[in-house]
Structure formats: structure tokens, C-alpha cells
């Protein structure tokens, strides 16, 4: 597990870079997952810009935890981690894209054209 982790009451948020995902855990139970992939940000001519982009691909919350704010918590945690790493974000996941629209303070993380 990555050192980036946060406790939110009984819920613990962690980054698992070996599995390319963020997790929300309640004890040993994984209650939500936000899958991602990383790549170099490229210029129009294909040249590397020296910036990494994290594609947030899919958010899944356990059905019995739906509506309890777990999805929002894991997205905020991921975006704060991405900001701390100096990366950009590509919100492929519809939930993440909508969350960023509702929280414009994170819009500066979007890769160009996202």
C-alpha cells in the first residue's frame, strides 16, 4: 500500500499503486474502488511534456454503502493525491467527471481538452 492514506471515521482511504487503484476500506473490507492508469502527457506533435496524467477510469461502491458519501470521499482523496504528486487528471469515469464539475476547485487538475 502507498503511504498516502486518510482515516475518515471507520472508513480508511488508501492508494494501492501495485493494483492501480484507490480504495475505501472499513476494517479489512474494501467498500469502494477507484481504478486508474498513468501515462505521460503528450504535446500535439507526440513529444512528452514531462507531466504525468492519471486517468481515473472507474468508481465502484459496494451497493450497501451507496448514497453514504463513500464515492465522493474516494474521489476527493484521489484528486488531493494527484495534486500532491504534481500530476494532471483525465476523468474517464462519469462519476469523477461529474464530481469535478460540482467542485470547480479541482478543475485546474484536468489535462488540456478534458
The CATH number of the domain where 21 resides is what? 3.40.630.30
- Burial status of residue 32 (CB atoms within 10 A of its CB: 0-12, 13-18, 19 or more): buried
Arithmetic mean of pLDDT, 34-59: 89
pLDDT at 46: 80
What is the domain extent for residue 90? 5-109
Residue 5 has pLDDT above 60, yes or no: no
User: Residue 54 domain-assigned?
Assistant: yes
Number of domains composing the chain: 1
User: Residue 97 domain-assigned?
Assistant: yes
Residue 104: φ, ψ to 5°: -65, -10
Grid coordinates given for 50: 514531462
Task: Write down the mean pLDDT value for the chain.
Answer: 89
User: Residue 88 domain-assigned?
Assistant: yes
User: Residue 114 domain-assigned?
Assistant: no
pTM summary value: 0.86
Arithmetic mean of pLDDT, 46-69: 90
User: Residue 71 domain-assigned?
Assistant: yes
Amino acid at each position: 500500500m502507498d503511504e498516502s492514506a486518510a482515516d475518515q471515521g471507520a472508513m480508511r482511504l488508501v492508494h494501492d499503486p501495485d493494483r492501480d487503484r484507490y480504495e475505501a476500506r472499513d476494517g479489512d473490507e474494501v467498500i469502494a474502488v477507484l481504478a486508474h492508469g498513468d501515462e505521460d502527457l503528450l504535446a500535439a506533435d507526440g513529444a512528452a511534456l514531462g507531466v504525468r496524467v492519471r486517468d481515473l477510469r472507474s468508481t465502484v461502491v459496494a451497493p450497501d454503502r451507496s448514497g453514504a458519501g463513500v464515492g465522493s470521499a474516494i474521489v476527493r482523496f484521489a484528486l488531493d493525491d494527484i495534486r500532491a504528486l504534481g500530476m494532471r487528471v483525465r476523468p474517464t469515469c462519469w462519476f469523477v467527471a461529474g464530481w469535478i464539475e460540482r467542485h470547480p476547485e479541482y478543475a485546474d487538475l484536468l489535462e488540456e481538452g478534458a
